């Protein structure tokens, strides 16, 4: 072997064997295998069963002939003065042995086994006296004679005695070789098996055609889906597919519906974000151009202050847009879901907003539950939810008011997270619409983007919680009815208590 060949062999490495999960299986091949494999397995079994049935059918007529020969021969045997005689003539003996194919043997024995007539070397039946007396009729057995298999019919003939003693039993046997039986069995097998060699290829061809015909709707469905444009997410007509494929088509339609909703949501999100970002960016540009044209330091300072406010508003809007996008793409059963203490989480969030409440001159309080309340949720998303509620309450509550965050539970296995303020409140007609994106109540002068409550509702839905808005029942000023935001979380079922072990006495 030259160095070039050795180098080629060293460079070549056979591809790793594919895992069974990565191998693409053919539905047509799977069905064909499951149909043909049992068929090819059952075919030899049917041949064996046919052979056994053919042998049984071939034995019946020849057994009847042997039975008749034994019956006729038994009728020729009788007892006279205690001696067994036979009245079988030479011509009758020739007729009994006449056979062009098989050899026929017969034998007559007396009660003590003495030879009366026929072939002396015929094998004897193995029966005791009780079986001999109860045999009653012609019986059959398989044996060999002169090294050749034979079928033997035998019967015990009762010979009456006139001296008062018990009747004697004479044995009559007729044996025949199995050549005619084998020929008939082979003829039956050929008559049954040979047509199968013709029928089997026809069956295989019909199975192949039936499978190809039955799976053709799948190919048609594939062509219809492939012919669609990328923008076409309309449902697939389920009335044009077989009944067995209808569940698959329904699942595809459900997936297309979810995909269409997701795409529409993303398009609406991008359009809303672009529309909302246009205003602060335009304001920042206008303030910056105005500052460039000013020569007075005070006017420049005033323009820069407005520019800072516009950038702060734009930053808040971008952050809330990102929070809304993250909330909408959060999977309800994702890996971030975990057991958490709702009261402890709310306490930590309230502490983060204490400094902001001081700047707003608002009393921010927290009411903890009597005992820990464990729910299943995403800590990051729930912190975002509560932060938006607290921020919303601080923005709309006048200075000197109060905001209270409360965590409690009831006897119906529900946990409640409430944010209560003493602001202007929300009219009942507006309570459903405030959860829409970028919606702001007319006449409202507080700064905001209109995304906070949309984020709250999205996160609540991800956690299977309900959001309700009420008036503050503890409000003291009629012009400031306040608002109460209540989120209702389902509590997970309590683990079963361990059974107490019965005391063991040694």
Note the pLDDT tens digit of each residue in 298-313. Answer: 888 887 877 777 777 6
Mean per-residue pLDDT of the chain: 78
Task: Please report the pLDDT score of residue 361 as a whole number.
Answer: 92
pTM of the model: 0.47
| Residue 143 near residue 177, CB atoms below 8 Å | no
Averaged pLDDT for residues 167-175: 84
Alpha helices in 337-378 (DSSP H): 342-352, 354-359
Torsion sign over Cα 250, 256, 262, 264: negative
Task: Please report the pLDDT score of residue 184 as a whole number.
Answer: 84
Of 305 and 79, the one with more pLDDT: 305
Which of 73-77, 93-97, 394-398 has the weakest average pLDDT?
93-97
What pLDDT digit, counting tens, does each position of 370-409 carry? Answer: 888 899 888 888 988 898 899 889 988 999 999 999 999 8
pLDDT at residue 415 tops 70: yes
Burial of 108 (0-12, 13-18, 19+ CB in 10 A): buried
Cα radius of gyration rounded to whole Å, the chain: 51
Which of 219-228, 414-423, 491-500 has the weakest average pLDDT?
491-500
Of 413 and 162, the one with more pLDDT: 413
Question: Cα–Cα distance between 206 and 201 in angstroms, integer?
Answer: 9
Distance from CA of residue 51 to its chain's centroid? Answer: 43
Distance from CA of residue 355 to its chain's centroid? Answer: 55
Task: Please report the pLDDT score of residue 403 as a whole number.
Answer: 93
pLDDT at residue 149 tops 60: yes
Residue in this structure with the two tokens 């795409």, named with its chain if needed: 263
Task: Please report the pLDDT score of residue 332 as a whole number.
Answer: 53
Averaged pLDDT for residues 353-382: 90
User: What backbone torsions phi and psi does residue 469 show, to the nearest 5 degrees?
Assistant: -120, 130
HEC assignment per residue over 244-283: HHHHHHHHHHHHHHHHHHHHHHHHHHHHHHHHHHHHHHHH
> How far is the CA of 33 from the CAs of 27, 39, 402, in angstroms?
10, 10, 76
Task: Please report the pLDDT score of residue 288 as a whole number.
Answer: 82
| Residue 342 near residue 407, CB atoms below 8 Å | yes
- Picking from 246, 382, 395, 261, the residue whose alpha carbon sits closest to that of residue 316 is 395
Of 102 and 99, the one with more pLDDT: 102
Task: Please report the pLDDT score of residue 3 as a whole number.
Answer: 46
pLDDT at residue 1 tops 70: no
pLDDT at residue 79 tops 60: yes
Alpha helices in 215-227 (DSSP H): 216-226
Name the DSSP letter for residue 111.
T
Distance from CA of residue 289 to its chain's centroid? Answer: 66
pLDDT at residue 478 tops 90: no
Q: How many CA atoms lie within 13 A of 506 on its CB side?
A: 0
Task: Please report the pLDDT score of residue 324 as a whole number.
Answer: 66
Task: Please report the pLDDT score of residue 31 as a whole number.
Answer: 76
**What percent of the chain shows pLDDT beyond 70?**
76
Residues in the chain, overall count:
506
Pairing status of strand 139-145 against strand 148-159: antiparallel
Question: Cα–Cα distance between 485 and 410 in angstroms, integer?
Answer: 17
DSSP per-residue codes, 3-48:
HHHHHHHHH--PPPPPPGGGSPPPHHHHHHHHHHHHHHHHHHHHHH
Task: Please report the pLDDT score of residue 39 as a whole number.
Answer: 77
What pLDDT digit, counting tens, does each position of 26-57 carry? Answer: 767 777 777 777 877 887 888 788 778 877 88
Task: Please report the pLDDT score of residue 347 as a whole number.
Answer: 94
Torsion of CA 284, 288, 293, 299, to 10 degrees: 80
Task: Please report the pLDDT score of residue 485 as a whole number.
Answer: 93
| Token pair recorded at residue 82 | 């205690």
| Confidence band for 84, pLDDT divided at 50, 70 and 90 | low
Task: Please report the pLDDT score of residue 4 as a whole number.
Answer: 46
Q: Across the strands, what pairs with 177?
A: 150
Task: Please report the pLDDT score of residue 12 as a whole number.
Answer: 45
Averaged pLDDT for residues 307-330: 69
- DSSP E strands, 433-500: 466-470, 483-490
Instruction: Name, of 50-59, 126-135, 328-337, the range with top average pLDDT.
Output: 50-59
Averaged pLDDT for residues 49-70: 83
Task: Please report the pLDDT score of residue 458 as a whole number.
Answer: 84
Q: How many CA atoms lie within 13 A of 365 on its CB side?
A: 10
Alpha helices in 76-128 (DSSP H): 90-97
Helix (H, G, I), strand (E, B) or coil at 466: strand
Which of 38-47, 144-153, 493-502 has the weakest average pLDDT?
493-502
Residue in this structure with the two tokens 């799948």, named with its chain if needed: 218
Of 426 and 291, the one with more pLDDT: 426
What pLDDT digit, counting tens, does each position of 207-255 carry? Answer: 888 878 877 877 888 788 888 888 888 888 877 777 777 888 888 888 8
Task: Please report the pLDDT score of residue 161 as a whole number.
Answer: 65
Question: Cα–Cα distance between 84 and 285 in angstroms, integer?
Answer: 141
Question: Cα–Cα distance between 472 and 452 in angstroms, integer?
Answer: 20
> How far is the CA of 374 from the CAs of 149, 339, 387, 417, in angstroms?
88, 6, 20, 12
């Amino acid at each position: 072997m030259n160095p070039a060949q050795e180098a080629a062999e060293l460079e070549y490495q056979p591809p790793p064997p594919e895992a069974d999960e990565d191998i693409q299986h053919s539905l047509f091949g799977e069905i064909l295998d499951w149909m043909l494999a049992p068929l090819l397995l059952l075919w030899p079994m049917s041949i064996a069963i046919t052979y056994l049935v053919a042998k049984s059918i071939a034995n019946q007529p020849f057994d009847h002939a042997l039975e008749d020969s034994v019956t006729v021969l038994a009728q020729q045997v009788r007892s006279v003065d205690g001696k067994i005689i036979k009245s079988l003539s030479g011509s009758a003996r020739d007729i009994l042995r006449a056979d062009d194919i098989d050899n026929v043997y017969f034998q007559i024995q007396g009660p003590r086994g003495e030879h009366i007539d026929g072939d002396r070397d015929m094998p004897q039946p193995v029966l005791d006296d009780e079986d001999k007396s109860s045999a009653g009729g012609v019986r059959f057995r398989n044996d060999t004679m002169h090294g050749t298999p034979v079928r033997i019919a035998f019967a015990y003939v009762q010979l009456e005695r006139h001296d008062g003693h018990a009747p004697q039993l004479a044995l009559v046997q007729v044996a025949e070789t199995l050549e005619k039986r084998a020929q008939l069995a082979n003829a039956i097998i050929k008559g049954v098996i040979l047509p199968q060699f013709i029928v089997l290829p026809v069956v295989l061809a019909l199975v192949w055609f039936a499978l190809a015909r039955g799976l053709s709707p799948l190919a048609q469905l594939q062509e219809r889906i492939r012919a669609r444009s990328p923008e076409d997410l309309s449902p697939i007509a389920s009335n044009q597919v077989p009944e067995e494929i209808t569940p698959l088509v329904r699942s595809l339609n459900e997936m297309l519906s979810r995909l269409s909703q997701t795409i529409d949501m993303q398009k609406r999100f991008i359009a809303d974000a672009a529309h909302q970002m246009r205003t602060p960016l335009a304001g920042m540009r206008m303030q910056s151009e105005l500052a460039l044209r000013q020569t007075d330091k005070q006017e420049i300072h005033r323009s820069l202050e407005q520019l800072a406010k516009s950038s702060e508003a734009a930053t808040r809007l971008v952050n809330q847009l990102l929070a809304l996008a993250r909330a909408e793409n959060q999977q309800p059963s994702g890996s971030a879901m975990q057991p958490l203490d709702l009261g402890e989480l709310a306490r930590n969030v309230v502490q983060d907003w204490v400094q902001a409440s001081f700047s707003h001159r608002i009393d921010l309080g927290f009411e903890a539950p009597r005992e820990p309340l464990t729910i299943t949720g995403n800590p990051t998303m729930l912190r975002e939810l509560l932060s938006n509620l607290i921020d919303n309450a601080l923005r709309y509550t006048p200075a000197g008011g109060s905001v209270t965050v409360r965590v409690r539970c009831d006897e119906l296995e529900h946990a409640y997270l409430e944010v209560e303020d003493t602001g202007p409140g929300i009219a009942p007609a507006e309570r459903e619409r405030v959860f829409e994106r970028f919606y702001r109540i007319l006449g409202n002068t507080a700064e905001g983007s209109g995304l906070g409550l949309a984020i709250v509702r999205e996160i609540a839905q991800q956690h299977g919680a309900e959001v309700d808005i009420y008036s503050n029942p503890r409000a003291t000023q009629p012009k400031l009815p306040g608002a109460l935001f209540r989120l209702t979380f389902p509590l997970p079922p309590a683990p079963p208590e361990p059974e107490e072990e019965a005391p063991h006495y040694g």
